[in-house]
């Protein structure tokens, strides 16, 4: 070692630098070993290795019997389809048996993994580790680009179906501050703000998996445990949602990766009765079907795979075609909910595309495990492939009507101003929820628990859903953004139409339900109803003025961008408890309920107290979360900066927490439940038509012209044709 190097080592400045470097190195090394534990301590979540009783190793004989049973039943169903046209049932059964005894007929099976498992000697399915034996990487095909190899697990955990939020760009959401979410400024993790469930998306930790004590009439007053929570559909199988993906630079632990439920999306013989909440020494989580039967019957996802979860959101739990609702669990059966979120079922009897045998992925064409939801949307939902278009025109073109030359010209002329769904969605399910009050639960004798009160359900036009101009974007609270191309100066729905419950029939129906709800409560009916009949009545004069200014300066310019068409939208409003310390002119921070307390006691305020006592909710009210995401969140929310005063005092009292209806009705896109026959001309173009042209921004003179079009006489036969 020469003298110059020795002098450098001995210098004070070098010693300080070496000391700092050593400290940093120790911190980095410590983070590698203790970061996961630190995340668990900070957020209050638990990660542990998961086991499932459904994962059972089969003997060679059991495996052969299983394979024979699967193929026999598959081919029997196929034989039934082949012989469907045989009129004589006795002859049909004979032909079915002949086919089943024909070696060439039974030779091929669509379940190709049978031979893969057989050849590899796999006799037990142990979750993702089994899948990754062959599928460690996968090839993803992107239109217009050569195929690329990706790490399969990375592809899954970075998909919306696992994490249900994202920090990336591509949201079709305009904040009330006028910015498109995550396009400029700090990118924050955002996803669904779900007011129908009582657990807004950001708070899903408080409702991931719960066991509810119920006392249904059918059990004669005996206790029955039921399963509830967001985790029954989201593919993570841990004790909590994808917490790590929400935090900066946090890695999903291997135990969480191995908890992913691959088979719920891929297996054609998944036993949904295995979906129930189980409780072990670490907490509560959702069980899975990890049987070998489910594992060797995997294919690309088919419609039923998607609908096991998405029919809950579309047709609803009470919808007759909801297959998951017919398999509630071998134990701790899942709860059912009467009202539906969107009310537009996808089934052969309700949708022409389902009747044609189409799969969901025919329109929502995936790239690996990333599935597009389209480049239009009002609600703040993460999107794996935001640039990928999912639209009717992908198949039907911009001139879809071809049956009659004269009628086709007339109908295709509407495409410039009307979305296909405007004519081809005629109604929603009658269970479609329009008004839901979470703050006044009632006892449900059939279920044997307290449930939120639906003030109004309807699938009728202009009650359950209505029409708005839409350019593909929505506000931070799911309000359609768009403008009338011919007269957009008077179209301002956020200050008018989206703040009112319209129509005498809707008001009359709501009043009847309110009277029934409040007859035992010390609440004035008119005051209660006024809040949802005119949502702006809940604002102070200062808040109302600020709202007017923000809409004029930030939202109206966004309405005038792009190309607007008239679309149908499902209407929704809910009454929940809000943190009014974080309130703006468009609403306050919605607080979650603890499902167990809510359903068992019917005391919503106690349920709020329990839910916000979760460690991660407390962290949201601390400085790191404020700086990391909450300030930015509240700017989009239109409420300025995030106030960190926790709404629960040390002595257990709620502070600045009150019940409120949303300050505007949510307008949720409906794109399913498509009827082959569209609306007739007179349904819109008549004095008593379903479209209120004035509310759509037309002058009264132009609205009258649209109701009495002289062209109508040329289409007299088509005017009333069904």
Q: Which two tokens stand for residue 346?
A: 């996808």
Cα distance between residue 344 and residue 429, in whole Å: 6
Does the CA dihedral 370-373-376-382 come out positive or negative?
negative
CB atoms within 10 A of CB 466: 23
Residue 315, burial from CB neighbour count under 10 angstroms (0-12, 13-18, 19+)? buried
Does the CA dihedral 648-649-650-651 come out positive or negative?
negative
The answer to whether 549 touches 556, Cβ cutoff 8 Å, is no
Average pLDDT over residues 489-514: 90
Helix pair 60-82, 113-120: axis angle to 10 deg: 170
Nearest to 343 by CA among 465, 428, 421: 428
Least-confidence region, from 15-19, 85-89, 134-138: 15-19
Q: Is the pLDDT of residue 6 over 70?
A: no
The answer to whether 435 touches 574, Cβ cutoff 8 Å, is yes
Q: Is the pLDDT of residue 25 over 70?
A: no
Eight-state DSSP code of residue 341: S
Helix (H, G, I), strand (E, B) or coil at 655: coil
CB atoms within 10 A of CB 337: 21
Nearest to 228 by CA among 343, 340, 336: 336
Sequence-ordered alpha helix ranges (H) in 554-699: 556-559, 595-601, 604-612, 615-620, 623-625, 631-637
Q: Which two tokens stand for residue 708?
A: 């009495």
The answer to whether 43 touches 615, Cβ cutoff 8 Å, is yes
Average pLDDT, the chain: 90
Cα distance between residue 537 and residue 61, in whole Å: 71
What is the predicted pLDDT for the residue at 506?
Answer: 93
Does 715 or 368 have the greater pLDDT score? 368
Q: For Cα atoms 375, 380, 382, give the angle at the middle one, nearest 5 degrees.
A: 65
Residue 211's φ and ψ, nearest 5 degrees, are: -110, 125
Nearest to 224 by CA among 383, 332, 110, 98: 332
Q: What pLDDT digit, counting tens, does each position of 258-306 carry?
A: 999 999 999 999 999 999 999 999 999 999 999 999 999 999 999 999 9
User: Residue length, the chain?
Assistant: 722
Helix (H, G, I), strand (E, B) or coil at 657: strand
In DSSP notation, 457-506 reads E--SBTTTEEEEEE-SEEETTS-EE---TT-GGG--GGGTGGGB---HHH
Between β-strands 449-457 and 433-444, what pairing exists: parallel, antiparallel or unpaired? antiparallel
Nearest to 557 by CA among 671, 432, 622, 471: 471
pTM for the model stands at: 0.91
Does 720 or 257 have the greater pLDDT score? 257
Q: How confident is the model at residue 113 (pLDDT cuts 50, 70, 90)?
A: very high
Q: What pLDDT digit, counting tens, does each position of 565-575 carry?
A: 999 999 999 99
CA distances from 92 to 75, 83, 96, 100, 103 (A): 15, 6, 6, 12, 19
CB atoms within 10 A of CB 55: 18
Spell out the SS3 assignment of 406-462.
HHHHHHHCCCCCECHHHHHCCCCCCCEEEEEEEEEEEEECCCCEEEEEEEEECCCEC
191 bridge partner residues: 165
The answer to whether 415 touches 323, Cβ cutoff 8 Å, is no
Nearest to 453 by CA among 462, 463, 464, 444: 444
Q: Is the pLDDT of residue 28 over 60?
A: no
Average pLDDT over residues 406-418: 84
Q: Is the pLDDT of residue 670 over 70?
A: yes
What is the predicted pLDDT for the residue at 34?
Answer: 60
Cα distance between residue 55 and residue 225, in whole Å: 24
Cα distance between residue 704 and residue 692, in whole Å: 10
Average pLDDT over residues 330-352: 93
Helix (H, G, I), strand (E, B) or coil at 610: helix
Least-confidence region, from 375-379, 536-540, 652-656: 375-379
Q: How confident is the model at residue 669 (pLDDT cuts 50, 70, 90)?
A: very high
Q: Is the pLDDT of residue 703 over 80?
A: yes
Which residues make Cβ contacts (< 8 Å) with residue 550, sequence separation at least 6?
Answer: 176, 177, 585, 638
Can you state the percent helix, strand and coil of the chain, rounding each to 5?
40, 15, 45
Q: Is the pLDDT of residue 15 over 80?
A: no
Q: How confident is the model at residue 42 (pLDDT cuts 50, 70, 90)?
A: confident
Nearest to 250 by CA among 191, 169, 182, 167: 167
Sequence-ordered alpha helix ranges (H) in 500-612: 504-518, 525-533, 541-550, 556-559, 595-601, 604-612
Eight-state DSSP code of residue 31: H
What is the predicted pLDDT for the residue at 722?
Answer: 43
Q: What pLDDT digit, counting tens, does each position of 165-218 carry?
A: 888 888 899 999 999 999 988 899 888 766 667 776 566 888 899 999 999 999
Of 52-66, 67-81, 307-321, 486-500, the range with the highest mean pLDDT is: 52-66
Q: How confident is the model at residue 19 (pLDDT cuts 50, 70, 90)?
A: low
Average pLDDT over residues 101-124: 92
Cα distance between residue 410 and residue 408, in whole Å: 5
Q: If phi over 0 gives left and psi between -120 and 50 gives alpha, with beta otherwise, what is residue 296?
A: alpha
């Amino acid at each position: 070692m020469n003298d110059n190097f020795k002098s450098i080592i001995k210098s004070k400045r070098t010693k300080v630098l070496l000391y700092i470097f050593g400290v940093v190195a120790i911190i980095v090394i410590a983070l590698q070993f203790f970061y996961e534990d630190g995340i668990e301590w900070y957020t209050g979540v638990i990660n542990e290795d998961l086991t499932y009783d459904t994962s059972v190793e089969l003997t060679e004989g059991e495996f052969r019997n299983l394979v024979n049973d699967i193929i026999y039943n598959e081919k029997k169903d196929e034989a039934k389809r082949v012989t469907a046209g045989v009129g004589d049932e006795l002859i049909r059964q004979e032909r079915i048996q002949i086919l089943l005894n024909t070696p060439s007929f039974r030779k091929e099976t669509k379940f190709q993994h049978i031979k893969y498992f057989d050849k590899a000697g796999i006799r037990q399915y142990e979750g993702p580790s089994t899948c990754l034996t062959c599928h460690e990487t996968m090839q993803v095909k992107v239109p217009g680009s050569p195929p690329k190899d990706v790490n399969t697990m990375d592809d899954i955990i970075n998909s919306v179906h696992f994490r249900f939020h994202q920090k990336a760009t591509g949201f079709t959401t305009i904040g009330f501050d006028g910015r498109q979410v995550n396009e400029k400024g700090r990118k924050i993790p955002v996803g669904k703000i779900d007011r129908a469930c009582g657990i807004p998306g950001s708070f899903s930790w408080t409702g991931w998996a719960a066991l509810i004590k119920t006392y249904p009439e059918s059990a004669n007053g005996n206790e029955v445990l039921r399963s509830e929570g967001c985790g029954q559909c989201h593919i993570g199988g841990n004790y909590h949602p994808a917490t790590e993906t929400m935090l900066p630079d946090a890695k999903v632990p291997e135990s969480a990766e191995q908890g992913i439920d691959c088979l719920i999306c891929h297996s054609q013989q998944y036993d949904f009765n295995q979906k129930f909440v189980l409780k072990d020494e670490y907490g509560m989580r959702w069980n899975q079907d990890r049987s070998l039967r489910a594992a060797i019957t995997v294919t690309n996802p088919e419609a039923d795979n998607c609908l096991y979860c998405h029919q809950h959101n579309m047709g609803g739990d009470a919808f007759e075609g909801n297959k998951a609702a017919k398999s509630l669990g071998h134990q701790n059966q899942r709860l059912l909910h009467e009202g539906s979120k969107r009310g537009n079922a996808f089934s052969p009897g309700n949708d022409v595309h389902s009747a044609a045998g189409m799969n969901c992925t025919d329109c929502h064409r995936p790239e690996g495990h990333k599935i597009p939801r389209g480049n239009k949307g009002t609600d703040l939902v993460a999107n794996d492939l935001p640039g990928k278009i999912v639209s009717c025109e992908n198949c039907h073109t911009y001139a879809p009507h071809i049956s009659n030359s004269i009628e086709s010209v007339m109908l295709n002329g509407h495409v410039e101003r009307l979305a296909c769904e405007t004519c081809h969605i005629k109604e929603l399910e009658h269970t479609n929820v329009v008004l839901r009050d979470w703050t006044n639960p009632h006892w449900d004798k059939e279920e044997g628990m307290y449930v939120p009160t639906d003030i109004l359900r309807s699938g009728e036009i202009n009650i359950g859903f209505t029409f708005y101009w839409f350019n593909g974007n929505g506000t931070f609270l799911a309000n359609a953004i768009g403008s009338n191309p011919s007269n957009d100066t008077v179209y301002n729905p956020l200050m008018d139409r989206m703040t009112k419950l319209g129509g005498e029939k809707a008001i009359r129906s709501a009043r009847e339900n309110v009277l029934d709800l409040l007859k035992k409560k010390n609440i004035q009916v008119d005051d209660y109803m006024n809040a949802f009949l005119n949502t702006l009545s809940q604002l102070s004069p200062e808040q109302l003025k600020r709202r007017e200014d923000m809409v004029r300066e930030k939202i109206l310019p966004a309405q005038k961008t792009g190309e607007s068409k008239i679309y149908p939208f499902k209407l929704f409003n809910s009454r929940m408890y809000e943190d009014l310390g974080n309130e703006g002119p468009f609403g306050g921070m919605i607080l979650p309920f603890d499902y167990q307390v809510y359903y068992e006691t019917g005391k919503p305020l106690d349920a709020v107290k329990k839910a916000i006592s979760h460690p991660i909710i407390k962290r949201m009210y601390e400085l790191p979360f404020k700086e990391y995401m909450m300030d930015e969140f509240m700017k989009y929310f239109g409420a300025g900066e995030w106030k960190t005063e926790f709404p629960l005092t040390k002595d257990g009292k709620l502070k600045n927490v009150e019940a409120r209806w949303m300050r505007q009705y949510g307008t949720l896109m409906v794109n399913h439940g498509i009827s082959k026959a569209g609306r007739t001309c007179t349904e819109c173009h008549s004095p008593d038509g379903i479209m209120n042209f004035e509310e759509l921004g037309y002058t009264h003179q132009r609205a009258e012209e649209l109701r009495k079009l002289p062209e109508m006489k040329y289409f007299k036969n088509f005017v009333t044709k069904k």
